[in-house]
Structure 1
């Protein structure tokens, strides 16, 4: 599951509120629980944010919504990068931080840095299959220009160019808002500016604090990657069990690591392989008992239990009832979406 940090998401919410949108109604129309507005989770699923952008676009009818969201971004909105974007040496170091640790802000897009003759290109592209609204890309490019002006001295002018991949009829509007020429139907979504701007030294540079900030970013990024690793392990375990077996060695091989290294990575995330196996077994067992006509001995065998009685004990531990009684109570209930 790709995610976006709540601090960056607040920038979206702040703009929608200022435009008079009812956030509760927005979430309801996007088929999202209103509890997301009050939960303390650090990260949100990017597919949910994509749906919110769709609903906000319909409500506001403003083709420049993404540009305007980016223009009101604040330094606290990129808090996950912390002191790394305060104590950097020069613009080159700042952009390297942005590129390397961008996933801490959002995994909906990738940000990459490229040299083109005497210009630097900051490119924004969808991250694999992550759902991405066009205006989210607009917000990133616009937000970069705003923060680059504050932090790097990249001031909007004719020397700064914004390229959009889409074929939009609103380039004049976008150019007026960004105070920089915007062209459409280009190869990349990117901001280009003169490379020499990045040579300027940062008056706040403190190498010791910068290195400490990088250590913190590394730890946070590794934690995020471990979270994805656990999701991937669960997914592959489920596939194995659906095929009627599970094999820790084969699973580790598929992740290009040894069983020992897999165990070490899971220990770092305060879990174990057998805990994940138990969770996936519980999910599959509930579905097979409730919605299939398979016998319990057959289900036990598919889930890797040699003894059906062991499966029965596990099922009661998971769901509070033996499988036979659970099927009787729930067999007429339709599957949930």
Structure 2
């Protein structure tokens, strides 16, 4: 017996990826329901290679009888409909920022803290972390277990798909406009994104950090270890899919590049491609559609005691969102729910 699964935000970048991932991984679903806003009613979305689902109205949908909801509609919509679905008896895996720091809602990356899933019973909600946090903590977890991480300094290079389909369209349209000498128009981003980088993701906070940078700090502490110090600089770059991160860590125990390489190679969800030669590293264009977190450029930082630097790349729509949510659903179905 399988599960009844609803995908909220099914017409968005992440929603479509969730549907594809459910099909790719043969999730045990007897029925999959696609939900979105009123303007998307009747649209068709793909579920695997052969199946097509018609989108239903989220606002009018009755969640009674639904076992699992995979939700990615935006935080404001989630604030309304995630509690409604949870109250109807469904377990909601929420991909928005709305519930991540709620102390009664587990924030889960299956390779890092799968045991936290059990906390869903308090509210019937499990939060999916921020995309940039997910790939970082997958890389940090094995290193923290072995060497004990004191401090993390991370700079991100985040693709436009993290800001939605309109952001991807803006990069495409601006690039085309520059080539044909048309005016460059911007609406999603605060500055031109084509042939540029923007050190500004989400809103600014009083301390000068952006909300995205704050998310990486507090989410890492909640998922991995509250004692770890994290400082982040988050930058949007003109890449369609794939987030990259330059990560520097300081550890409690002595650490060498070779030891770190061995630990990372043995870690779940991690692929190490680290050759000190031309093309011996991974870039975002190469990881689109792939599941792992890729690690390259592993090297010791000789400016601090027990320091290490490395390069981390992942498909932000896969592991950074859809795949992580589906992995949570798989563990939930296997260990906690009755199929």
Q: Is TM > 0.5 for Structure 1 vs Structure 2?
A: no
Structure of higher RCO (CA pairs closer than 8 Å, 6+ residues apart): 2
TM-score, scaled relative to structure 1: 0.26
Where is the strand percentage greater, Structure 1 or Structure 2? Answer: 2
Larger Rg: 1
Where is the helix percentage greater, Structure 1 or Structure 2? Answer: 1
